[in-house]
Structure 1
């Protein structure tokens, strides 16, 4: 996590690290094209709207949708996920704004659509998980 993260609320260092860890694990799963690991960052009962506007309800649906996408049109897509804001909504419930930047397989930034993502991450019996999220594709400005 960079030093320029906006933190709103009384969020402990431990919680910041845990929530950022979920985001970085999601990034790794996406870049590794590992649908099971990606879905594993979500709670069993979750709702996520992906960058194409498809709402996916539940961890199983996320894995089922992500696998084919990562083997097909996302197979050569990579990204860096940077936490830019943490907002405490309630104890152990954090809204997280993430800026996604396209990269090549080595992590070097490349031209292309970016992502503006909002995750709600909460402590669950099996650890910190995404309970809701919205991923918005942001096209680069035209010259």
Structure 2
């Protein structure tokens, strides 16, 4: 993740660290193809729309989809997640914009669709979790 993050609102360093930590843990789970670890980054009642436009409601549904997907058609997919903006929505609720860059297993950028993701990450009884998310695949930005 980069350090060039636009921060809007009065977000403490501790909150920034916790929220970006959720995104980093999500990236690590994706790259390890670990559906259970990926789902743990979501709130119990989260709503997630993936890059294919499929809405998944609840951590359990996210795990049920992600486990087979990460071991199946995404088994050779890797990405770097860069937090580009944090927006304080309310106390304990942060909007997060992320840019996803496709990489190889070593983390080197490769050709392929990029992603732009919006998360709402909120303080939950079990820690900071994604409560709403939308992932969109986009064409790679032009070089140069």
In the superposition, the TM-score normalised over structure 1's length comes to 0.97
Match of 1:110 in 2: 110
State the Cα deviation string for residues 33-55 of structure 1 (Å, max 9, x = none).
00000000000011000000000
Look up the match of 2:87: 87
Runs of 4 or more above 6 Å deviation: none
Structural mapping, 1:70-85, within 5 Å: 70-85=70-85
Residue 68 of structure 1 and its aligned partner are, at CA, apart by 1.1
* Uncovered stretches (5+) of structure 2, i.e. residues with no partner: none
> 5+ unaligned residues in a row in structure 1: which ranges?
none
Q: Is the aligned partner of 1:135 residue 2:135?
A: yes
Q: What CA deviation, in whole Å up to 9, does each residue of 1:79-128 have, x standing for no partner? A: 00010000000001000000000000000000000000000000001000
Secondary structure at the aligned position of 1:73 is classed as coil
In structure 2, C-alpha distance between the alignment counterparts of 1:32 and 1:2, rounded to whole Å? 20
| Alpha-carbon separation, structure 1, partners of 2:141 and 2:8 | 30
Aligned length in residues: 143
> Cα distance, 1:141 vs. partner?
6.0
Q: Map residues 1-143 of structure 1 onto 2, 5 A cutoff.
A: 1-140=1-140
Give the secondary structure class of the aligned counterpart of 1:53: coil
What displacement does 1:142 show?
8.2
CA distance in 1, matches of 2:3, 2:68: 36
